[in-house]
């Protein structure tokens, strides 16, 4: 079975769940959610066992579909985050169905699988058309997901904003793709890589297109100055969907960005310095505009939104710092590593928020006070997540940041490094503000918070992954060391 | 761990015992003492078996545990150095350790917290063994700190007494000062020697390696490193000016004073200095400073001992003074003489402390010698063994071990520096004086209090160690024992000066003893009154004043500077800027969709402008 067929089956499962939610009211929503989780786990297992040779692909997709290590990594990543998001949805079903139009979860359980299909497809995209199609599959599904709890005004507002701004960004992206096509005569990454080396290509036209293209993709990954939608949408969307946006949508944006940048910065490219500088400028602004406003946030969800922007800045910096001689991972690999560390900590933080929400506890810092007494486990998990987001040594987050810094130092991007240091320092302030609130302040009540055993197990496993990756990242690095060969090959 | 070697047994068995006891002390109760005593007995036997082999200096390091592995070149392991120096020291530590364990079984039998005591004692044995076996400076530093910790725990064993608490804290903090220097010294050597701090490597490096070049061209760096390392010894071996903690450390149980604060831990500084003697040899100035500090400590401590009335404090000052001798020897380049004195001193000083413990035990925890008296009749066994210890300490010629080892140091001093020789000889006189004073006041004459008149010898478990130690105090300098112990044999001084030195020390001894008899025989209160000595040269008061007047003033100024510069310029100003930017950026997020769309468009225009018009100009 090829990876491609897994994606098709996953999409079918997503549709089946949506239909079941509509026509089989007897089936409980949790059952459907767990079916989705089971489906993605099975898909993950199948993916591990599936043939990784491109020859296994059906003839009609082969020209548009690559199966290198990086794409397989992002496919697995998409499946993991989808399963976890479905778990979060199952965990907060009562809260969510209170606010949905018909009092049910319905599509909220099926759509993530379709998003997942899009993300998996995107990981394999070899040209801008495939990127566009799969990106739209993801984005359109997200429009629905963000606005799903329509009885909540915030969610509705977030949905509208995301729809309008997202549509504008998509337009920008397509427009940019058209210009790049006009300049280089190709939509495939391979062709673009050749085009940027071609002296006959009009450089201004090319740069014009690249600026649009990067702006469109920058919107998807929440890079400044195209990040304004993030805080509002993250805050308004149902919490599991926010987690999905924050991890899944960002990851799929970054795989595309990795491919595009790999192509644009191919050896001998005439736009190397321009593209690198664009990335660096954006990285610097992103880190600052993500971190500094976060200092004031009193809503943890909004804080995580800003944190997501700031992390995007670090990822852009990683992308701009081309392969470093110090380690066997390319910049694409560093991005993947960073995202892999970002996944458990973000999901863990959102999980805690979901559980609290179900108990009627909001996401403001005030309401988190005294959590250390009410649920020592949740408090500990949130502490680990926050420490890792801040980049405390011995957590996964530290290693991700360290790789980025090392690569950037090797290239001597001191100005951006300065901004990143400021951002990271500010991060320690606002992440630890959360830790401070849960432990040092007295809450209004000491009523314990209950968590189901299965959820405790999964959340503890996530926390364990954060700590294990922080201590012993070698296995993950080994997995990612291979794509070096793949993306360098593309460059040549 | 590769395989079970003698070294790994000696190192890890006490650790096992310590963990077992400290984790399970509620369940173990009485068994805790047995575990601890058993482990120390096994260690002593193993260490005894290890004696006698001949090896080259530094030997072949034995791997025990892998520790830090940073890169291929920077790694630190728990390795054991097995050579003459460590075999001998290991025996001293484990053997005296065993005797003290045994003695403690009697001495501490009424103590509620015995398991904690024995757990800490095992912890100390582990740490001390680690120092002895350490093959590199990092490992030594780690165990150095562990020793400090166990010393802290044991001094503060009776933590409900405020004075014990304070003493523990004082010991810990004072050592911190020295250890800070030690750490800087290690880092200096680490940097100069390209990341290797193994003793054998460092010694090689001085012959033909990076350190050799540094020594040739930047002598002062080596001097600085040597003095920094020496600071560690100043703290741990209680040399002037960091000597203040040791007398206070006598607040701990007496067996602890015997083991840690007389025989072994305080000698760790000397042991370490001898280990790095190649470093001290490389800098003449450092050697002079070390010898000078040693000499000053020797004489100052002896002067202070003259006016003390607490039996343990007298012994504590005498320990300081003897440590001063050893450090002086090391500074003079006669490390063997220092080590030799360390060995003999370990036996007779442990004997004296355990003897004083027996006295204190017999007199119901009375420590003031003026409230004793006539104990020679009440506690004959204690009296005889204590007298033997005293004889060894004051160096009664030819029959005691102390005489021979002190000879070695005085000989070295005579050879290198006449002033230090004079100091050493005068200290010998003072030692004879104050120890005879102690003997006369505490043991001779008539009992001055009820508790002294009803005193009796302690049980066999306490007297036994005293007997063993008194035999060793007499014999440990005999060639047959000395070779077994592998005390580094000092150079024989059969020069013309030899008989001069012997003559001088015998004169000093006789003068000291005679003066003490003349002054103290039959006296009920101290005929001498020298406030300067009794108040320990006011060093503690000086430090307190220093803290009060200098440090507090300085702190006031520093606080002011911190308010202005650190708080204001470094913390608050950037924070204010960050907050301004943050709130400005936040106000962009007002939630208006039109505004967002406008900003999105503006951003794109900006990106295009930068990409197409700015960057191609500035970039290549």
Do A274 and B579 make contact, defined as CB atoms within 8 angstroms?
A: no
Q: Rounded to whole angstroms, how far apart are CA atoms B527 and B518?
A: 11
Q: CB–CB of B205/B278 below 8 Å?
A: no
CA distance A180 to chain B (A): 13
Do A232 and B586 make contact, defined as CB atoms within 8 angstroms?
A: no
Say which of B581, B593, B619 has its CB closest to residue A288.
Answer: B581
What is the reported pLDDT for A119?
94
Q: Rounded to whole angstroms, how far apart are CA atoms B584 and B586?
A: 5
Say which of B582, B600, B608 has its CB closest to residue A228.
Answer: B600
What's the sign of the alpha-carbon dihedral B35, B37, B41, B43? Answer: positive
Cβ-based contacts of A295 with chain B (< 8 Å): 578-579, 582
CA distance B608 to chain A (A): 5
A439-453, B423-437, B474-488: the lowest-pLDDT one: B474-488
Whether the per-residue pLDDT at B222 is higher than 80: the answer is yes
What is the reported pLDDT for A483?
47
Q: Rounded to whole angstroms, how far apart are CA atoms A338 and A254?
A: 11
Q: Rounded to whole angstroms, how far apart are CA atoms B338 and B324?
A: 10
Q: CB–CB of A175/A217 below 8 Å?
A: no
Cβ-based contacts of B572 with chain A (< 8 Å): none
What's the sign of the alpha-carbon dihedral A148, A152, A156, A162? Answer: negative
What is the reported pLDDT for B432?
93
Q: CB–CB of B457/B463 below 8 Å?
A: yes
Contact A295/B at CB under 8 A: yes
Tell me what percent of chain B is helix, strand and coil, each rounded to the nearest 5.
75, 5, 20
Whether the per-residue pLDDT at B490 is higher than 60: the answer is no
What token pair was written down for B180? 């800070």
What is the reported pLDDT for A327?
66
Interface of A with B in 183-212 (CB under 8 A): 203-204, 207-208, 210-212
The 8-class DSSP code of residue B401 comes to: H
Cβ-based contacts of B571 with chain A (< 8 Å): none
Cβ-based contacts of A292 with chain B (< 8 Å): 578-579, 581-582, 585
Q: In whole numbers, what is the pLDDT of chain B averaged over residues?
A: 85
Residue that the structure tokens 């209160």 belong to: B525
What is the reported pLDDT for B297?
93
Cβ-based contacts of B600 with chain A (< 8 Å): 165, 168-169, 219, 226, 228
Length of chain A: 492
CA distance B24 to chain A (A): 27
- Under-70 pLDDT residues of chain A: 323-328, 482-492
Q: What angle do CA A454, A460, A462 make, to 5 degrees?
A: 105
Contact A226/B at CB under 8 A: yes
CA distance A155 to chain B (A): 13
Higher pLDDT residue, B551 or A315? Answer: A315
Taking only the tens place, the pLDDT of each residue in B9-40 is 888 899 999 988 888 877 777 788 889 999 99
Question: What pTM value is reported for the model?
Answer: 0.63
Q: CB–CB of A82/A248 below 8 Å?
A: yes
In angstroms and rounded to an integer, the radius of gyration of the C-alpha atoms of chain B is 29
CA distance A307 to chain B (A): 13
Say which of A225, A278, A293 has its CB closest to residue B586.
Answer: A293
- DSSP string covering A57-116, please? S-TTTGGGB---HHHHHHHHHHHHHHHHHHHHHHHTHHHHHHHSTTSS-THHHHHHHHHH
**If you average pLDDT over residues B103-107, what whole number do you get?**
89
Interface of B with A in 590-619 (CB under 8 A): 591, 593, 595-597, 599-604, 606-608, 610-612, 615-616, 619
Nearest to B111, CA basis, from B29, B34, B40: B29
Compute, in degrees rounded to 10, the torsion defined by CA atoms A392, A396, A398, A404: -160
A82-91, B65-74, B113-122: the lowest-pLDDT one: B65-74
What is the reported pLDDT for A74?
93
- Element spanning B67, H or E: strand B62-69
Taking only the tens place, the pLDDT of each residue in B355-385 is 999 888 888 888 888 888 888 888 888 999 9
Do B582 and A292 make contact, defined as CB atoms within 8 angstroms?
A: yes
Burial B15-53 (b: 16+ CB within 10 A, else e): bebbebbbeebeebeebbbebbbebbebbbebbbebbee
Q: What is the largest CA-CA distance in chain B?
A: 106
**If you average pLDDT over residues B191-204, what whole number do you get?**
86
Cβ-based contacts of A286 with chain B (< 8 Å): none
**If you average pLDDT over residues B235-248, what whole number do you get?**
89
What's the sign of the alpha-carbon dihedral B569, B574, B575, B580? Answer: positive
Q: Rounded to whole angstroms, how far apart are CA atoms A181 and A213?
A: 11
What token pair was written down for A306? 């800003």
């Amino acid at each position: 079975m090829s990876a491609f067929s897994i994606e098709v089956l996953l999409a079918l499962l997503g549709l089946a769940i949506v239909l079941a939610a509509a026509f089989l009211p007897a089936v409980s929503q949790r059952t459907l959610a767990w079916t989705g989780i089971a489906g993605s786990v099975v898909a993950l297992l199948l993916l591990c066992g599936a043939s990784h040779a491109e020859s296994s692909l059906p003839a009609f997709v082969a020209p548009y579909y690559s199966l290198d290590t990086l794409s397989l990594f992002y496919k697995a990543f998409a499946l993991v985050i989808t399963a976890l998001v479905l778990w979060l949805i199952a965990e907060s079903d009562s809260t969510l169905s209170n606010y949905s139009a018909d009092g049910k979860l319905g599509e909220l359980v099926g759509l993530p699988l379709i998003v997942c299909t899009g993300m998996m497809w995107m990981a394999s995209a070899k040209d801008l058309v495939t990127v566009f199609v799969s990106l739209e599959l993801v984005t359109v599904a997200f429009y629905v997901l963000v606005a799903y709890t329509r009885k909540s005004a915030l969610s509705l507002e977030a949905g509208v904003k995301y729809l309008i701004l997202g549509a504008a960004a998509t337009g920008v992206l397509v427009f940019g793709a058209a210009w790049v096509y006009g300049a280089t005569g190709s939509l495939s990454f391979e062709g673009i890589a050749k085009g940027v080396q071609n002296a006959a290509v009009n450089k201004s036209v090319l740069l014009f297109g690249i600026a649009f293209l990067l702006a469109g993709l920058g919107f998807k990954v929440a890079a400044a100055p195209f990040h304004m939608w993030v805080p509002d949408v993250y805050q308004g969307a149902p919490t599991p969907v926010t987690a999905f946006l924050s991890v899944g949508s960002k990851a799929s944006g970054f795989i595309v960005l990795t491919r595009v940048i790999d192509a644009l910065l191919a050896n001998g490219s005439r736009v190397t310095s321009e593209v690198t500088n664009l990335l660096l400028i954006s990285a610097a602004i992103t880190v600052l505009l993500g971190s500094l406003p976060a200092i004031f946030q009193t809503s943890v969800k909004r804080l995580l939104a800003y944190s997501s922007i700031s992390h995007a800045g670090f990822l852009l910096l990683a992308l701009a710092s081309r392969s470093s001689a110090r380690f066997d991972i390319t910049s694409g690999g560093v991005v993947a590593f960073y995202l892999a560390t970002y996944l458990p900590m973000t999901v863990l933080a959102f999980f805690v928020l979901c559980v609290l929400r179900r108990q009627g506890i909001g996401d403001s810092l005030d309401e988190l006070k005294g959590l250390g007494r009410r649920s020592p486990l949740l408090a500990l998990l949130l502490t680990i997540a926050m420490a890792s987001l801040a980049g405390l040594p011995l957590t996964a987050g530290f290693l991700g940041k360290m790789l980025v810094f090392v690569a950037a130092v090797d290239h001597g991007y001191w100005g951006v490094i300065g901004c990143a240091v400021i951002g990271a320092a500010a991060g320690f302030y606002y992440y630890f503000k959360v830790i401070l609130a849960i432990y040092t302040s007295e809450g209004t009540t000491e009523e314990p918070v209950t968590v189901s055993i299965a959820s405790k197990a999964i959340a503890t496993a996530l926390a364990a992954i954060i700590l294990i990756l922080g201590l012993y990242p070698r296995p993950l690095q080994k997995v990612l060391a291979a794509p070096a060969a793949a993306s360098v090959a593309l460059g040549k | 761990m590769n395989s079970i070697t003698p070294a790994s047994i000696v190192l890890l068995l006490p650790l096992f015992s310590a963990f077992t006891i400290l984790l399970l002390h509620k369940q173990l109760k009485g068994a805790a003492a047995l575990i601890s005593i058993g482990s120390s007995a096994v260690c002593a036997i193993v260490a005894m078996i290890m004696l006698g082999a001949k090896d080259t200096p530094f030997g072949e390091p034995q791997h025990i545990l892998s520790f830090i592995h940073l890169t291929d070149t920077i790694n630190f392991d728990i390795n054991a150095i097995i050579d003459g120096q460590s075999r001998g020291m290991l025996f001293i530590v484990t053997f005296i350790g065993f005797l003290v364990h045994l003695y403690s079984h009697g001495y501490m039998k009424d103590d509620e917290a015995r398991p904690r005591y024995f757990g800490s004692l095992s912890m100390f044995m582990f740490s001390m063994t680690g120092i002895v076996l350490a093959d590199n400076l990092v490992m030594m530093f780690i165990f150095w700190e562990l020793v400090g910790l166990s010393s802290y725990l044991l001094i503060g064993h009776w933590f409900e007494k405020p004075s014990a608490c304070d003493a523990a804290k004082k010991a810990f903090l004072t050592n911190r000062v020295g250890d800070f220097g030690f750490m800087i010294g290690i880092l200096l050597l680490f940097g100069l020697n390209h990341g290797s701090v193994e003793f054998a490597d460092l010694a090689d490096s001085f012959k033909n390696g990076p350190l050799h070049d540094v020594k040739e061209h930047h002598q002062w760096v080596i001097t600085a490193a040597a003095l920094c390392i020496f600071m560690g010894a100043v703290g741990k071996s209680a040399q002037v000016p960091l000597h203040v903690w040791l007398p206070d450390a006598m607040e701990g149980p007496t067996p602890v004073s015997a083991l840690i604060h007389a025989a072994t831990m305080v000698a760790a500084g000397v042991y370490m200095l001898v280990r790095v003697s190649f470093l001290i040899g490389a800098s003449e100035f450092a050697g002079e400073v070390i010898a000078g500090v040693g000499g000053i400590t020797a004489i100052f401590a002896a002067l202070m001992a003259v006016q003390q009335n607490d039996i343990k404090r007298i012994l504590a000052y005498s320990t300081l003074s003897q440590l001063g001798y050893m450090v002086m020897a090391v500074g003079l380049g006669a490390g063997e003489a220092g080590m030799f004195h360390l060995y003999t001193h370990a036996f007779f000083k442990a004997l004296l402390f355990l003897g004083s413990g027996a006295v204190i035990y017999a007199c119901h925890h009375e420590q003031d010698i003026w409230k004793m008296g006539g104990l020679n009749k009440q506690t004959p066994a204690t009296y005889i063994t204590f007298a033997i210890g005293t004889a060894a300490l004051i160096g009664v010629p030819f029959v005691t071990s102390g005489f021979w080892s002190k000879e070695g140091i005085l000989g070295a001093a005579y050879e290198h520096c006449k002033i230090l020789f004079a100091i050493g000889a005068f200290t010998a006189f003072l030692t004879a004086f104050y120890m005879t004073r102690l003997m006369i006041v505490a043991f001779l004459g008539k009992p001055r209090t009820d508790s002294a008149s009803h005193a009796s010898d302690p049980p066999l478990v306490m007297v036994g160690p005293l007997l063993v130690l008194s035999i060793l105090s007499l014999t440990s300098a005999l060639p047959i024992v000395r070779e077994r112990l592998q005390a580094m044999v000092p150079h024989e001084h059969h020069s013309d000066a030899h008989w001069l030195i012997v003559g001088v020390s015998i004169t000093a001894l006789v003068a000291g003893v005679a003066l003490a008899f003349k002054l103290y025989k039959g006296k009920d209160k101290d005929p001498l009154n020298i406030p300067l000595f009794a108040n320990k040269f006011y060093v503690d008061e000086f430090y307190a004043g220093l803290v009060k007047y200098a440090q507090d003033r300085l702190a006031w100024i520093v606080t002011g500077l911190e308010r202005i510069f650190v708080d204001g310029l470094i913390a608050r100003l950037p924070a204010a800027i960050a907050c301004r930017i943050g709130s400005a950026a936040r106000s962009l997020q007002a939630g208006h969709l039109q505004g967002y769309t406008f900003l999105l468009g503006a951003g794109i225009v900006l990106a295009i402008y930068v990409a197409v018009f700015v960057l191609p100009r500035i970039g290549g």
